[in-house]
A and B are shown apart, each in its own frame.
Chain A
Amino acid sequence: MTLTTLLLLAAALIGIGIYGALSQQSFVMLMMGLELILNGVMLAAVAFWAFSGAGAPEGQLLTIIVMAVMAIEMAMGFALVVAVFRGKQADMTESLTGLKH
């Protein structure tokens, strides 16, 4: 377990997350992709804190802030899913055509 292997794992999680966020048609699956990206970000932050930051507490604080971002993303995402479902009776990204030119 070195900084390099940890960052490679974080990069793999972020890469899978990017794929999911860009490819999924269902909003909830799309949010799962975003969650995976943040998962990798948190792992990278903790890895830097443990190996490169000399134990500076701000490194852990950054992870807490990313967790808060994740909670906000989930809550706003679900609210938007509910709003879209009310209007379109589907949770597919394709059903949102209102802003198409």
Chain B
Amino acid sequence: MESMNHGLGVDIAFLLLATLAVVTGWRVFRTDSMVRASFFLLVSFIAVGVIMILLAAEYLGVAMFFMMAVEMTVMALFMVMFMMNPAGLNPMNMVHQERIAIGAGVAGFLILGAMALLAIFPDQPVPAGLEPVRSLGNEMLGDSMLIFESAGLVLLTTMIGVVVLSSHRGRYGAAAEGSMPPGLEPGGDPAGKPEEDEEGEGGHHHHHH
């Protein structure tokens, strides 16, 4: 069906990588350890990155390795910071509306899979003489420079937004004001004391007659 010719080795590698990507992607939501989940996701991304390299998109594949290695490390750190059970010492499965979620996931796969199998896409493989990295570079700093630069500007905006959102000083006063830990069971008493403000709230009230 495709005119791009490649050896049997590429097909075997693709099959193994595809299996790895799907299995590790699935294990992300089936492991007790949150840190392990983020590394499973990393493996899934790296498998897809290698497939991209097999498809001659070397730059994108390698960019994927670097980006995802850093992202997933950050993700693992956040897991340790926020989760009650980052190491997976206890069995855990924290899900809600699972049946709807399974249905939506299966439906998504079936619809997209049917499109992949039934739709007729043009058969126009990458021309033999094309240098993918050079052509991408020429595009990013040529015709599509405005798009590429807008992505940079949006990233800068994101950085500002992130600092505002995660600041100790919230929009309506201290971000942690009135913060209570959740109950041990739904609707139960808070599982500890409310967090004390290190400045002491009392001092503020006296100044605001």
Taking Cβ atoms with an 8 Å cutoff, the residues of A that contact B are 1-20, 22-29, 31-33, 35-36, 39, 42-43, 46-55, 57-58, 60-61, 63-65, 67-68, 70-72, 74-76, 78-83, 85-95
Contact B148 A64 (CB under 8 A): yes
Chain A residues near B28 (CB-CB < 8 A): 16, 20, 29, 32, 36
Give the distance to chain A from B134, nearest Cβ to Cβ, in Å: 9
5 other A-B residue contacts (CB within 8 Å) besides A51-B123, A54-B126 = A6-B51, A19-B101, A50-B55, A51-B125, A64-B136
Contact pick for B109, options A15, A24, A39, CB 8 Å: A15
Cβ of B201 within 8 Å of any chain A Cβ, yes or no, is no
Give the distance to chain B from A35, nearest Cβ to Cβ, in Å: 6
Contact A52 B112 (CB under 8 A): no
Chain B residues near A9 (CB-CB < 8 A): 18, 21-22, 51
Alpha-carbon separation in the docked complex, A95 to B175 (Å)? 16
Contact pick for B123, options A12, A17, A52, A80, CB 8 Å: A52
Contact A32 B130 (CB under 8 A): no
Contact A63 B14 (CB under 8 A): no
Contact pick for B159, options A65, A67, A75, A95, CB 8 Å: A75
The 7 closest A-B pairs by CB, nearest first: A15-B109, A19-B105, A7-B116, A23-B101, A57-B139, A11-B112, A22-B101
Residue of A nearest to B127 (CB): A55
Contact A8 B155 (CB under 8 A): no
**Chain A interface secondary structure, helix, strand, loop or mixed?**
helix
Contact A91 B195 (CB under 8 A): no
Chain B residues near A75 (CB-CB < 8 A): 158-159, 162
Alpha-carbon separation in the docked complex, A29 to B92 (Å)? 13
Chain B residues near A89 (CB-CB < 8 A): 179-182, 195
Alpha-carbon separation in the docked complex, A1 to B7 (Å)? 10
Give the distance to chain B from A2, nearest Cβ to Cβ, in Å: 5
Chain B residues near A35 (CB-CB < 8 A): 41, 45, 71
Alpha-carbon separation in the docked complex, A80 to B166 (Å)? 7
Contact B1 A16 (CB under 8 A): no
A-B contact pairs, 18 of them (CB 8 A): A1-B54, A6-B51, A11-B116, A16-B28, A19-B105, A42-B48, A46-B55, A50-B4, A50-B55, A51-B123, A53-B126, A54-B126, A55-B127, A61-B144, A63-B60, A79-B162, A83-B175, A94-B186
Contact pick for A13, options B44, B52, B139, CB 8 Å: B44
Assuming A19-B104, A28-B82, A61-B148, is B181 touching A90 (CB within 8 A)?
Answer: yes
Give the distance to chain B from A13, nearest Cβ to Cβ, in Å: 6
Contact B162 A86 (CB under 8 A): no
Alpha-carbon separation in the docked complex, A89 to B181 (Å)? 5
